[in-house]
Structure 1
Amino acid sequence: MRLPLHLRLNSRLASPKSFFLIPAAARPPPKFRHAFTRTMSSSTTAPTPNGTAAKKPANAKKEIKILMLHGFTQSGNLFRFKTRALEKLMAKSLAPFSILPVLTYPTGPNRLSPRDVPGYEQENAEADDSAELDAWSWWRKDDPTGSYRHLDLGVRAAAAAIREAGGDVDGVLGFSQGGAFAALLTAMLELPHREVPEDFRPWVEELREANGGKPFRFAVVYSGFPATPEELKWAYEPKIRTPSLHMIGSLDTVVEESRSQGLAERFEDPMVVVHPGGHYVPIAKQWAMPLIGFIKKAADQKAEESAAEEKAPENKV
């Protein structure tokens, strides 16, 4: 058997509110797969002679935790491989501001079979469909009904990854199905909490508890699309207020421009960037800088809030 090129990647957006537009001429285990890749640069604080932890220096790096969600047929490890250059550029660009990105790459819990993978070809036409591929999803769409099967498993896998990361995750970045999933998770965590249908409540509560009841500070979506099932309309009504950045390829033929625009319109005041590429996460510097600036803004806001809390100890119980 041989796999296709992984998600052939090649759409343009008339955005609800464009950040800027660049001309095109510019250059697991079974059931639950909780395993994930977590990357960060870190330093430890040596204890003082009396055994207490030393106070962090004023220039200590400020962590910003980001949940990285892969696309349909990918895995956490594969998504990290594809975005490794972006990860390095992020770390390098944010280091002068003493910001340390901590990236967590979970893998979706739903293993896909060969017939689920677009473009998959079998060398032996009579071979069965039992081959195990390293191809995963956050949910499976039921074609007759349009519902998302096993979405609960996807949310619980995300909750497990957040717990493994120590909770208090600051933001989420997702690609394609992972981008659609990122928007749903953002809506589920947003404060004040939305009313959730009873059937969804147990696993939405699990997600909220995993992040300590805190919302994401930001959401980044590459080639995303809105969830279509009627039972998920509550996630977009009212609109999601969390700051969002939407990156869309002007040549994307996998997720049409109108679908990505539709997701951006589910957010209040979305920031939209159109790049002259297809269905992939652009890693060139000119396309990474809007992302880096967006993350820096969130990190600065977090630092300001932390400083304000430290200056007002009387407000703490």
Structure 2
Amino acid sequence: MSVKKNVLMLHGFVQSDKIFSAKTGGLRKNLKKLGYDLHYPCAPHSIDKKALFQSEAEKGRDAAKEFNTSATLDEVYGWFFRKPDSSNSFEIDQKVFNYLHNYVLENGPFDGVIGFSQGAGLGGYLVTDFNKILNLTEKQQPALKFFISFSGFKLEDKAYQGSYDKAIEIPSLHVRGELDAVVAESRIMALYDSWPQNKRTLLVHPGAHFVPNSKQFVSQVCNWVQVTINKDDQEQDDLPEAEQEQFDRPQLDDDLLDMIDSLGRL
């Protein structure tokens, strides 16, 4: 009997569990072939989408396009909000942690965490010490095996910096779009740089602020999961320095893409 494998999916700002599920259909289908069930919690903070971009300077901006969300009247949510008079400072309400604690108990344990935008920012913070932050025992939630961030960023508030200073042992894949105008490249790279060199990979796609759903791109992400899960930690540590660098370059080069693709397309 196969062991059930679960992935925690954290949606972006002005999204919801349903919206994020719809926008990651290709990824969900292909991870399903690898034996993973994707679980989509919904952030507890409701957002008035009509109230967004109401200032004179912001008028004309399209929330659905900018946040890769729904243009319909679907309810939308967020994990946290900016502090007043601050562009990049956030405070996460304790009820978010309590909600995710209960969600893990009811739907986990989880093998990995995948997030988009604000959800990836939250996920990147959580995986620095997942069990401690969510008050979970090792029996309730064994060690995570991977983390994937789509347009994720490092939380910049001083209250959270101590967590990033620890040696993060969970392998991570950080994905950014070359045309992303919502999350600056510097913020994405700050999260990427929080990981040790042998535990991080950066993948760049030519699009904007969204989770790419093309067959080729989804195959690369899923094959990275296979490489990561199948590679023993000790084997990774023993890789020659030149080979390790393939995983650390700002973009995946042709040699690494060929290696990932050689595992077989999904």
Question: Could you say which residue in structure 1 is the equivalent of 2:5?
Answer: 64
Q: 1:114 to 1:87 in 2, by over 3 A?
A: closer
Deviation at 1:221, TM superposition (A): 0.1
> For the residues of structure 1 that align with 2:111 and 2:193, how far apart are their CA atoms?
22
Q: Which amino acid aligns with 1:224?
A: G
Deviation at 1:133, TM superposition (A): 6.1
Query: How far does the alpha carbon of each residue in 1:50-86 deviate from its partner, in whole angstroms, 9 at most, with x for none?
Result: xxxxxx3xxxx44321000000010011100111122
Query: How far does the alpha carbon of each residue in 1:217-271 deviate from its partner, in whole angstroms, 9 at most, with x for none?
Result: 1100000111010010012012422100011111111111111111100111210
Unaligned runs of 5+ in 1: 1-55, 95-99, 122-131, 194-203, 303-317
> For the residues of structure 2 that align with 1:116 and 1:180, how far apart are their CA atoms?
23
> For the residues of structure 2 that align with 1:272 and 1:150, how far apart are their CA atoms?
26
Question: Could you say which residue in structure 1 is the equivalent of 2:212?
Answer: 282
Match 2:142 to one of 179, 198, 214: 214
**2:49 corresponds to 1:114:** yes
Q: Which amino acid aligns with 1:170?
A: D
- Normalised TM-score (structure 2): 0.72
Q: 1:151 to 1:217 in 2, by over 3 A?
A: farther
Unaligned runs of 5+ in 2: 54-60, 64-72, 233-266
**2:22 corresponds to 1:81:** yes
* Contact 2:91–2:157 (8 Å) recurs in 1: no
**2:172 corresponds to 1:244:** yes
Q: Which amino acid aligns with 1:171?
A: G
> For the residues of structure 1 that align with 2:78 and 2:51, how far apart are their CA atoms?
10
Classify the secondary structure of the residue corresponding to 1:86.
Answer: helix
**2:109 corresponds to 1:168:** yes
> For the residues of structure 1 that align with 2:76 and 2:134, how far apart are their CA atoms?
28
Deviation at 1:298, TM superposition (A): 4.6
Q: Which amino acid aligns with 2:28?
A: E
Question: Could you say which residue in structure 2 is the equivalent of 1:296?
Answer: 226
Deviation at 1:287, TM superposition (A): 1.1
Question: What is the alpha-carbon root mean square deviation over aligned residues?
Answer: 2.5
Structure with bigger gyration radius:
1
Deviation at 1:294, TM superposition (A): 2.4
Question: Could you say which residue in structure 1 is the equivalent of 2:259?
Answer: none
**2:119 corresponds to 1:178:** yes
Question: Could you say which residue in structure 2 is the equivalent of 1:189?
Answer: 130
Q: 1:68 to 1:211 in 2, by over 3 A?
A: farther
Q: Which amino acid aligns with 2:42?
A: T
* Contact 1:162–1:169 (8 Å) recurs in 2: yes
> For the residues of structure 2 that align with 1:71 and 1:277, how far apart are their CA atoms?
17
Deviation at 1:290, TM superposition (A): 2.4
- Normalised TM-score (structure 1): 0.61
Match 1:273 to one of 192, 203, 213: 203
> For the residues of structure 2 that align with 1:75 and 1:245, how far apart are their CA atoms?
23
Question: Could you say which residue in structure 1 is the equivalent of 2:38?
Answer: 103
Question: Could you say which residue in structure 2 is the equivalent of 1:306?
Answer: none
* Contact 1:162–1:211 (8 Å) recurs in 2: no
Deviation at 1:108, TM superposition (A): 0.5
Compare relative contact order (CA 8 Å, sep 6+) and give the higher one, 1 or 2: 1
**2:95 corresponds to 1:153:** yes
Deviation at 1:216, TM superposition (A): 1.5
Deviation at 1:153, TM superposition (A): 2.0
- Runs of 4+ in structure 1 deviating by more than 3 angstroms, as ranges, are 114-121, 144-147, 297-302
